[in-house]
């Protein structure tokens, strides 16, 4: 009897093959009225569609998926060479496009793009505060001292670059940033801040900001997912036990606050009147992160986290999956930014990506692009 995730994988493959004929080499972000939109190439989510195509190509070897993914990557060259607009999310953009391409097909041009992106990211490191700066002044004024939890999913680009170049400087920066996250972002109960602000000249911590969470002391669900997955990847590269311990702590908080259907509220501490926004993308990312964490565990502990990750993914499949032809996305009910009422309870491309990536892990795929 086929496992549910094998059946789901077949549905994913069929659907991605079908929708790729319309989306082609554009950059979807959210699905509106059943159709994915198209963002500019410099938008932070630009890597998720080519990343999704590479996930399916790895299994099917369907040439058109490769061609669309490579074309997306080539379009990103404009942004890679436009230094003033480069931001902290180069990991999301080039890990899932260029690094994925290189890991699958050993393409040297893709490798070079990934290393250029890693150099850009390393250049954002603040040596006084030991953090990678988030955003630029054209997004938020006076943000020179801002760091965000999202960057935990960008710094795997630095670990990869260290391995490829045999140069430890990239890894040193990634670890320094991670240690700052452990010290300044993760609370004793395992919840996390979205934004922490430092004095960019002295490195002194100034305050925390709510960002996409409800308040500075709340618990933005996707922020927890970024922490779970990013710390698990960091442990894989470094084998630093403190990273795995903090990943487990963040996971325990996440699991303890999930509702019965395993799809979290956008912020675990949102007031009752603002708990109408779900974020399935946080669930998918956290589940993939848990499965990554399980690679480094044994016995009952591994069984516990693996079981919870699979339960999350099965619930997303059964309760939030979109398998009809009226909706291009795979998973419904993600939330981009509830505080700004921006795409609430909407399918999101990164929710789709992490769901498919996690399905692959359930099916035995252990190599990741990160």
Q: Answer yes or no: is 150 a known binding residue.
A: yes
Q: Which of 25, 79, 89, 267 is catalytic?
A: 89
Q: Which of 25, 150, 267, 352 is catalytic?
A: 150
80-106 core/surface letters (b: 16 or more CB in 10 A; e: else): beeeeebbbbbbbbbbbbbbbbbbbee
Residue 47: in which H helix or E strand, if any?
none
Calculate what percentage of the chain has a pLDDT beyond 90.
Answer: 95
pLDDT tens digits for range 12-42: 999 999 999 999 999 999 999 999 999 999 9
Contacts (Cβ under 8 Å, ≥6 apart) of 114 = 94, 95, 98, 99, 102, 157, 160, 161, 164
User: So what's the pLDDT on residue 1?
Assistant: 64
Place of tokens 């769901």: 355
Residue 121 pLDDT grade (very low, low, confident, very high; cuts 50, 70, 90): very high
- Beta-sheet pairing, 146-148 with 195-198: antiparallel
Domain at 4-362, CATH class: mainly alpha
Q: Domain limits of the chain? A: 4-362
Three-state secondary-structure class, residue 219? coil
pLDDT tens digits for range 307-327: 999 999 999 999 999 998 899
> Looking at the DSSP assignment, which residues form a beta bridge with residue 79?
none
Give me the helix-helix angle, 169-184 and 241-256, nearest 10°: 40
For the chain, give the mean pLDDT: 97
For residues 10 and 75, what is the distance between their CA atoms, to the nearest angstrom?
Answer: 30
Q: Answer yes or no: is 9 a known binding residue.
A: no
Given a cut of 90, whether residue 140 has pLDDT beyond it is no
For range 234-261, the mean pLDDT: 98
> Looking at the DSSP assignment, which residues form a beta bridge with residue 147?
196
For the question of residue 279 being annotated catalytic, the response is: no
Task: Tell me the DSSP string of 123-151.
Answer: TTEETTTTEEPPS-TTTSTT-TTEEEGGG
pTM confidence score:
0.98
For the question of residue 324 being annotated catalytic, the response is: no
User: So what's the pLDDT on residue 83?
Assistant: 84
Given a cut of 90, whether residue 137 has pLDDT beyond it is no
Say which residue, 339 or 140, is predicted with more confidence: 339
């Amino acid at each position: 009897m086929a496992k549910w995730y094998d059946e789901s994988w077949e549905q994913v493959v069929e659907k991605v093959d079908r929708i790729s004929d319309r989306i082609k080499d554009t950059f979807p972000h959210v699905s509106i009225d059943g159709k994915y939109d198209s963002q500019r190439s410099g938008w932070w989510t630009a890597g998720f569609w080519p990343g999704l195509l590479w996930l399916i190509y790895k299994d099917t070897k369907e040439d058109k998926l490769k061609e669309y993914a490579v074309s997306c990557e080539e379009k990103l060259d404009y942004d890679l060479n436009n230094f003033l607009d480069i931001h902290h999310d180069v990991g999301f953009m080039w890990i899932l496009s260029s690094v994925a391409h290189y890991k699958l097909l050993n393409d040297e041009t893709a490798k070079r793009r990934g290393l250029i992106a890693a150099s850009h990211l390393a250049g954002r490191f603040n040596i006084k505060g030991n953090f990678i700066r988030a955003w630029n002044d054209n997004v938020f004024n006076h943000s020179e001292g801002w760091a965000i939890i999202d960057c935990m999913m960008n710094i795997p680009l630095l670990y990869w670059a260290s391995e490829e170049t045999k140069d430890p400087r990239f890894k040193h920066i990634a670890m320094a940033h991670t240690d700052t996250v452990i010290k300044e972002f993760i609370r004793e109960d395992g919840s996390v801040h979205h934004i922490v602000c430092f004095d960019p000249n002295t490195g002194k911590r100034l305050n925390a900001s709510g960002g996409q969470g409800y308040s500075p002391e709340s618990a933005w669900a996707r922020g927890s997912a970024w922490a779970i997955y990013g710390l698990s990847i960091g442990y894989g590269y470094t084998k630093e036990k403190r990273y795995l311990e903090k990943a487990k702590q963040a996971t325990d908080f996440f699991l303890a606050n999930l509702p019965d259907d395993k799809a979290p509220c956008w912020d675990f501490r949102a007031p009752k009147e603002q708990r109408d926004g779900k974020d399935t993308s946080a669930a998918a990312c956290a589940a993939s992160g848990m499965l990554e964490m399980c690679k480094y565990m044994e016995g009952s502990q591994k069984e516990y986290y693996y079981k919870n990750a699979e339960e999350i993914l099965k619930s997303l499949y059964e309760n939030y999956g979109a398998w009809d032809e009226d909706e291009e996305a795979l998973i419904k009910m993600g939330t981009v930014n509830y505080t700004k009422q921006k795409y609430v309870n909407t399918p999101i491309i990164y929710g789709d990506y992490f769901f498919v990536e996690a399905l692959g892990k359930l099916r035995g795929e252990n190599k990741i692009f990160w």
